[in-house]
Structure 1
Amino acid sequence: MFSLRRAFRFVVWLGVLLPLKAFCAEAEAGRGEYLVRAANCVSCHTAPGGPVFGGGVPFPTDFGTIYSTNITPDAKTGIGGWTFEQFEAAMRRGLRPDGAHLYPAFPYTNFTKIDDADLRALYAYFMNLKPVHAPARENELSFPFSERRLMAVWNALFFEEGRFVADPKRSAQWNRGAYLVESLAHCSACHSPRNLLGAEKGDALYTGGSFAEFDEDRGIVTRGAPNLTTSRHGLGAWSEDDIASYLKSGISTHARLIGTMNEVVLNSTRYLSDGDTRAMAVYLKSLAPAGVDVRKPDERTMALGAKQYDIHCGTCHLPTGLGAEDTAPPLAGSTFAQAPDPSSLIDLVINGPRLPQEAPSLAWQRPWQPMKPFRQKLSDEQAAALLTFVRNSWGNAAPAVTPEDVGRMR
């Protein structure tokens, strides 16, 4: 009788524990999906027309091209054979299961700050995906940068491993925003300048950066990312509402979704909760103003630029540079116009804006009137002067644009 009673209890507990365990695993994987959105994994690990998370996205660098890898649970070509400890080593220390170093095109320098619970949820999510057979492409790096062993030296110089540590003097909302911006969202990866060895400049974080992308029509092109500090050349004029709205919907009183941020908002931040986008805004608005000093452009360039602006831009953007609500965005105080690297601005004017392709799901977005490319209307010298004028009028201040800068973007 005693044995039967114990057996009965065991069966009852088994009937409770197994469904509970399955429920917890499903909940963890579901939370992992949210975190994968926050980290925007799909943009970097999904090639155009390729399988989701199958890798193959090219990342041009000064040292050659690096290709993202398959992060589905395929045992042969993905991460299906990885233990959690191996997954953690990649995320926190930039190490592959075989002990070789990953290149920092994979932002383990940010992901090292992810907390334990979130890391386990991410692992659970990836391991519950449908496996995809997609072998990794060989990186195209010049010697000696093709030698992964050199990353040990790079890490010793520029990488600091460690989880995010909350600031007890700050609010829970601020700390949540700091955690998202600095770890999962890895905003500094694009919005910070880098040194000659490709490491973020620690004394200039979030002051604007530049990076290269592969364009199917034009090959490798350079992009510029704006200053995210509260400098008047960055987010100084943006309110918390402006930032939160832009992250959630691609709309603010200062800007509309355009360029590289298309992928960030469409694949990542629009899926975050209102509380999380607000927390990110709170953190970003706390960043001290920072940036580089700018030399005032010469009078001849400014005069030529003012003439081109009056002819081509003043009607929509207004002589004041303030734009009009339903016509054109403001240029005065624009973070995009004042980005330290003008590449994205040049591309917009010469080749036209890169607007979101996902039009049906963006019915909530009220775009300004579309701007046609000025490739045929402006010479390199005229375009350079025009953009220099825009970047240095109405309180704006940013490095001058040269005709050579324009020529590289055609």
Structure 2
Amino acid sequence: MKLAFDRGRRTRAATWVSLGLTFAVALVVELTFADSSKADSPLDSKGDQGNSQVERGRYLARAGNCVSCHTSPGGPAFAGGLALNTPFGKLYSTNITPDPETGIGKWTEEQFARAVREGVRPDGAHLYPAFPYTAYTKLSDEDVSALFAYMKVVKPVSFTPPENEMGFPANQRWALGMWKMLFFDEGRFLADSSQSEEWNRGAYLVEGLGHCSACHSPRNFMGAEQASMAMTGGEYTDKVPSGEIRTWSAPNLTDVPNGLGSWPMEEVAAYLRTGRNGFTETHGPMNEVILNSTRHLSEGDVRAMAVYLKSLPGNVGNIGKAASAQVIEDGETLYNVNCGTCHQPTGLGALSEQAGAKLVGNPLVQASNPASLINVILYGPHLAKLPGPKRWKDMPEFGSKLSDDEVAAIASYVRSAWGNVGGAVTQEQVAKQR
């Protein structure tokens, strides 16, 4: 049945679709691939570095990875100006140093708490959910107070980020109020009495400060996280190693074969703590999460996060259709010629500088959207400079060597071989990532 809309209804529908898409892509910050972590802002000379509340706030700011989003490439920590690219223009992160004119120096703790947990500025305007108040709403009063204490004594920076470059209707902040009515549940984290203290700590960090679901959950057409598909993988835009902005995909974090099913809890913790484990090494957009946030957390907190993640109910998510037998056959041949020497014909790789990482059970390889896998094949992985010895041989880029259909065939093969359950990759998907 064909539905007829009057002009007003069509306009409202188009407005909501545009806003929804804008919010969806604006929920994830464009991260610059740094070879080293961004430094915390030094404490102002008047700040008390021995103050336990300030130090707690510093720790919490690291847990929330605040510096990555509120620092522009090469700019002062927390001074803002990082660009968030969306199909409707750009948003820029704000200055959250205590500068009284361009930062939050005149804010009260109550105003700070409302911004963090409700997404409302002191002037009453709604904040775009690029700032993850949808997760930070779970923070306790004590943690918000400690964060405020820390942000008030970091070095103030007089800097006004560029104005947002958003077209209509995305530039209408009033519409965010209606979006919140539909999709935002304001409220603190409530511990589950049936779970352990460690599990609850992990849930608080993953669902609150860590805001992991912002990247690792798919969203509806209005840009809200789909609760029924939580942590099954999401999409965002970011730079590839050559500098262009492309789609990336965050993998499934639930306990299934295409998620964290094959990773023991200790391996999950090792990855968060060091950026490496027996399966993979951090690269691309995850670099700054490891370098600026999780590697600074206590062993207890990292373990708690791993315990919670491993408890997530399994959900394979949207796998997609399987590739044809002919594509798999072609992909296997191309894989053995171009990839098999390092990753092994078995896909198991090896812990050797002359070998590649493990592809069997790899969450990124099997992500619902193959964008990240395609990016790695085309451009090579952008590895972080982690402490400790290298575990695997550096992977070159294959974009200049392989055609779109060849990359699609290899990707389709590794997503379905050795018990992997990823769907087919098309030539068009590869062309988009180029």
| TM-score when normalising by structure 2 | 0.86
Cα distance between partner residues in 1 of 2:393 and 2:138? 42
Higher relative contact order (CA 8 A, sep 6+): 2
How many aligned positions are there? 385
Partner of 2:400: 376
Deviation >4 Å, runs of 4+: 22-25, 214-217
- AA aligned to 1:140 is E
- AA aligned to 1:158 is F
Cα distance between partner residues in 2 of 1:215 and 1:249? 22
Partner of 2:187: 162
Partner of 1:54: 79
Partner of 1:406: 430
Give matches, 1:71-110, under 5 Å.
Answer: 71-110=96-135
Partner of 1:64: 89
Question: How far off is 1:188 after superposition?
Answer: 0.3
Partner of 1:3: none
Cα distance between partner residues in 2 of 1:323 and 1:395? 15
Partner of 1:8: none
* Secondary structure, aligned partner of 1:97: coil
Partner of 2:10: none
Cα distance between partner residues in 1 of 2:243 and 2:283? 18
Give matches, 1:11-26, under 5 Å.
Answer: 26=51
Question: How far off is 1:219 after superposition?
Answer: 3.4
- AA aligned to 1:301 is V
Partner of 1:253: 278
Cα distance between partner residues in 2 of 1:295 and 1:315? 29
Question: How far off is 1:220 after superposition?
Answer: 2.1
With over 3 angstroms needed to count, the CA separation of the structure-2 counterparts of 1:305 and 1:338, relative to structure 1, is: same
Partner of 1:343: 371
Partner of 2:58: 33
- AA aligned to 1:56 is G
8 Å CA contact retained: 2:241, 2:379? no
Question: How far off is 1:292 after superposition?
Answer: 2.3
Identity of aligned residues (%): 51
Unaligned segments of structure 1, at least 5 residues: 1-21
Partner of 1:195: 220
1:14-62 superposed Cα distances (whole Å, 9 cap, x missing partner): xxxxxxxx98981101100000000000110111111111111111234
Once the two structures are overlaid, the 10-residue window that deviates more, 197-206 or 165-174, is 197-206
Q: 1:137 aligns with which of 141, 152, 162?
A: 162
Once the two structures are overlaid, the 10-residue window that deviates more, 44-53 or 392-401, is 392-401
Partner of 2:292: 267
1:368-402 superposed Cα distances (whole Å, 9 cap, x missing partner): 00011111211000001110111111111113211
* Secondary structure, aligned partner of 1:393: helix
Cα distance between partner residues in 2 of 1:306 and 1:393? 9
Give matches, 1:219-258, under 5 Å.
Answer: 219-258=244-283
* Secondary structure, aligned partner of 2:142: helix
- AA aligned to 1:336 is L
8 Å CA contact retained: 1:226, 1:336? yes
Cα distance between partner residues in 1 of 2:48 and 2:433? 52
8 Å CA contact retained: 2:241, 2:382? no
Q: Does 1:277 align with 2:302?
A: yes
1:262-305 superposed Cα distances (whole Å, 9 cap, x missing partner): 10110000000000000000000000110224322111211111
Partner of 2:345: 319
8 Å CA contact retained: 2:240, 2:379? no
Q: Does 1:354 align with 2:379?
A: no
- AA aligned to 1:254 is F
Q: Does 1:328 align with 2:352?
A: no
Cα distance between partner residues in 2 of 1:345 and 1:24? 43
- AA aligned to 2:107 is W
Question: How far off is 1:235 after superposition?
Answer: 0.1
Question: How far off is 1:131 after superposition?
Answer: 0.7
8 Å CA contact retained: 1:58, 1:214? no
Question: How far off is 1:216 after superposition?
Answer: 8.6
Q: Flag the structure with larger Rg.
A: 1
Cα distance between partner residues in 2 of 1:176 and 1:120? 18
RMSD: 1.5
Q: Does 1:152 align with 2:177?
A: yes
* Secondary structure, aligned partner of 1:258: coil
Q: Does 1:127 align with 2:152?
A: yes
| TM-score when normalising by structure 1 | 0.91
Cα distance between partner residues in 2 of 1:341 and 1:70? 33
Partner of 2:23: none
Cα distance between partner residues in 1 of 2:283 and 2:348? 18
8 Å CA contact retained: 2:368, 2:423? yes
